[in-house]
Amino acid sequence: MFSLKPTAFAVSITMLAGAPVLAADPSLDLVAPLADYKIYVAENTAQLVADTDAFVEAIKSGDLETAKALYAPTRTSYEKVEPIAELFSDLDVTIDARADDYEHAEADPNFTGFHRIEYALWVEDDTAAAVPFAERLMADVTDLDARINALTFPPDVVVAGAATLMEEVAATKISGEEDRYSGTDLWDFEANFAGAKKIYALLRPLITDDAAFIEKTDGNFDEVDEVLAKYREGEGFKHYEALTDDDRAFLSSRVNTLAEDLSMLPGKLGLS
Amino acid sequence: MNLPRRHLMIGLAGLAGTAATYARAETPLTSDAPKGHVDTAVQRVPFYGPHQAGVTTPRPEAGIMAAFDVVVRDVDGLEDMLRRLTERGATLTAGGPVPERDPNLPPADSGILGDNITPDNLTMTVSLGASLFDKLEGLDRLRPRQLQRMVEFPNDALVPANCHGDLSIQFSANLPDTAMHALRDIVKNMSDALVLRWMQEGNVPPVLPAADGTTPSARNFLGFRDGSANPDSNDADLMRNVVWVQDGAEPAWATGGTYQVVRVIRNFVERWDRARLSEQEAIIGRRKMSGAPLDQPDANEHTVPDYTAGDHTPMDAHIRMANPRGPDADKHLILRRPFNYSNGIASNGQLDQGLLFICYQADMELGFLTVQNRLNGEPLEEYIKPVGGGYFFTLPGVANAGDYLGSALIMAARQS
């Protein structure tokens, strides 16, 4: 049957010899996990709306310190559900684009959302500069919440979402470029990670034939948790710069291995 | 349309030519790939032996030097990593069909070489950095005696992100895609243990044979032939002295290995190209086109310079400082295996290119360190700047299919 070996060649051989992992209609097995996941996402987008409301209020009232303190925790509920949120690519751009996404970087008038506000708060040091972007963000997350509540979740997107979140971490959080003005990358890291873990936890009972995969993946999730725990501070995390080179390399290895292994999930669960 | 008659005739002739060429299938189209060569594609460098391949084996056109952080907790983890790395090296250098997988899974292979991996002269040479011996318990006492973190020489401007590493892999192959395919395979299959730290691609330009049938040394990006004075890599006795660590000199596990020095040396080519030819030749100590030493300008690059015969070669010429040809010259020989590199442009708009210097020697102190210390302050420094690299110890070879890279090191680590 299907067992994950260290080498790709070994995997291929066992896979070709293997039988289909699930019963004829994989979607039946996914009904319950998908329903649970929809609730998880709805809770997070509701939280996002509530947190954004407080964040925007702080900006409008000119309270720079409170606004800065609320920036990272407000983002976490977005980062947790990113595989679903980014289905609405128009909103993903206006909510979460980074300066690199624009040729003129921070000066680009189309640069909006969390990171434009982050730039206003940490670099421009100016809540007034952030107000128009804050108002736009409020409208966008409210819109996102409504759209997600009306959405039928595509099973393949949810199942692939665990790997998608690890790819997010590997591509932008490990390097500290996501929240470059505030240094709050580890908050995002943990949120992406929690979102991936949620999907994995919901699907884990369906993987009945591959104890090695479960053991390895459980172990990698645990090891990431252990390293992140070293950087917890207050309700959240230390500045990205606190991350040591050794821990960064270790996290990078685990995140990339999780991305490799979780990319097998859709196939393992019989999705095509 | 009223074309002059001559143009019309040329046009018709052109059309006729086009029709004729369409009929001949072997005439390539715009979209056809450049023609590959079966004879070079099937070239295979033996993976097993007392030494790793990629050191004294011929240097093919494409090279990648990649340095990794090793993320393992203990000697068991290191053994597991080295065994898997050995398996990948043996598989990739042998070539063969790419394994098939359920199409609902990500493919096992990047596919950039198609469904059949051609060996294409691929070698993967694995070496360990000093930091690995620091970080793993029980390994420090087994560190090769001269293995240290790369030091900064006076002319260096090292960029931290392009330096050092726990492990290096030198990929060499006939074609750049073959080397890149191997790197992609390692990154994909070894992600739990190896984290890419920096890498540098390079190439050696193929050189047409000389009239006498010999192949001259390739040119570096300064336009000079590079490697003229390299020791003969086919002379096994010489290689034993110059390159391979012998019994007694190092911890026993290291016999058959060698020290690898990697230096990413930027060349300021715009400025160099504006230097007078006579100055360039005085700085290097050779004629630019032929490579002949300045005291024998009509000889060839392999002629040994004679520094006793007049003052043709400046005392501070690169080749003279590197090797003054004194009585102890043989003690300080190194085997150079460099590639040229080009990385686009620097922030000042100048070309970012230079030499991916790689050399091997049995004794770091007598070899690279002595030579580089002699070169400190050379006039060439105005045109070059070392910006990255690292020192590594190339593991002894893999004896056979039952062996693995570093097996002697692992066994020694287990004997407390």
Asked whether the beta carbons of residue B101 and residue A16 sit closer than 8 angstroms, the reply is yes
Structure tokens given for A121: 């708060």
How many Å lie between the alpha carbon of A269 and the closest alpha carbon of chain B? 10
Cβ-Cβ pairs closer than 8 A, A with B, add up to 69
Which residue out of B98, B192, B197 would a mutagenesis test of the A interface target, given it has the greatest number of A Cβ atoms within 10 Å? B192
Which residue out of B71, B85, B102, B131 would a mutagenesis test of the A interface target, given it has the greatest number of A Cβ atoms within 10 Å? B102
B131 interfaces chain A, CB cutoff of 8 Å: no
A180 interfaces chain B, CB cutoff of 8 Å: no
A20 interfaces chain B, CB cutoff of 8 Å: no
A11 interfaces chain B, CB cutoff of 8 Å: yes
User: What was the pLDDT predicted at B17?
Assistant: 46
In chain B, % helix, strand, coil (3-state, to 5) comes to 30, 20, 50
Q: How far apart are CA B45 and CA B48, in angstroms?
A: 9
Cα dihedral B398, B58, B168, B244, rounded to 10, equals: 60
Q: How far apart are CA A80 and CA A52, in angstroms?
A: 15
Task: Band the pLDDT of A93: cuts 50, 70, 90.
Answer: very high
Residues A82 and A45 sit within 8 Å (Cβ to Cβ): no
DSSP B225-271: B--TT---TT-HHHHHHHTSPPTTTS-GGGTT-EEEEEEEEEE-HHH
> Cβ–Cβ contacts within 10 Å for residue B91, how many?
19
Which chain B residues contact residue A256 at CB under 8 A? 191-192, 195
Residues A228 and A237 sit within 8 Å (Cβ to Cβ): yes
pLDDT (tens digit per residue) in A51-82: 999 999 999 999 999 999 999 999 999 999 99
First to last CA, chain B: 93
Residue B332 is given by DSSP the state G
* Alpha carbon of residue B329 to chain centroid: 24
Which chain B residues contact residue A207 at CB under 8 A? none
Which residue out of B83, B104, B132, B167 would a mutagenesis test of the A interface target, given it has the greatest number of A Cβ atoms within 10 Å? B104
User: What was the pLDDT predicted at B214?
Assistant: 87
Residues B134 and B169 sit within 8 Å (Cβ to Cβ): no
Lowest mean pLDDT among A6-10, A236-240, B169-173: A6-10
Q: How far apart are CA A188 and CA A120, in angstroms?
A: 19
Mean pLDDT of the region A129-150: 97
pLDDT (tens digit per residue) in A192-214: 999 999 999 999 999 999 999 99
Residues A48 and A141 sit within 8 Å (Cβ to Cβ): yes
B160 interfaces chain A, CB cutoff of 8 Å: no
A254 interfaces chain B, CB cutoff of 8 Å: yes
Lowest mean pLDDT among A22-36, A53-67, A179-193, A254-268: A22-36
Which one of A9, A16, A253 has the shortest CB-CB distance to B191?
Answer: A253
Residue B118's identity, in one-letter code, is T
How many Å lie between the alpha carbon of B359 and the closest alpha carbon of chain A? 28
Q: Does A28-268 carry CATH code 1.20.1420.20?
A: yes
Which chain B residues contact residue A15 at CB under 8 A? 101-102, 105
Asked whether the beta carbons of residue B99 and residue A257 sit closer than 8 angstroms, the reply is no
Strands (E), A53-212: none
Which chain A residues contact residue B88 at CB under 8 A? 7
pLDDT cut 70: percent of chain A above it: 90
Residue of B nearest to A10 (CA): B99
User: What was the pLDDT predicted at A24?
Assistant: 52
A271 interfaces chain B, CB cutoff of 8 Å: yes
Short-list B122, B123, B77, CA closest to B394: B123
Helix (H) or strand (E) holding B69: strand B62-70
Which chain B residues contact residue A267 at CB under 8 A? 102, 104-106
Mean pLDDT of each 10-residue bin along chain B, 416 residues long: 44 46 68 92 97 97 98 97 98 97 94 97 98 95 98 97 98 98 98 97 95 92 95 96 95 98 98 98 97 94 89 94 94 98 96 98 98 98 98 98 98 90
Q: How far apart are CA B47 and CA B92, in angstroms?
A: 10
Q: How far apart are CA B67 and CA A230, in angstroms?
A: 27
Asked whether the beta carbons of residue B109 and residue A8 sit closer than 8 angstroms, the reply is yes
Indicate the domain borders of chain A. Answer: 28-268
Which chain A residues contact residue B109 at CB under 8 A? 8
Total residue count of chain B as it appears in this document:
416
Q: How far apart are CA B408 and CA A176, in angstroms?
A: 39
Helix (H) or strand (E) holding B83: helix B75-94
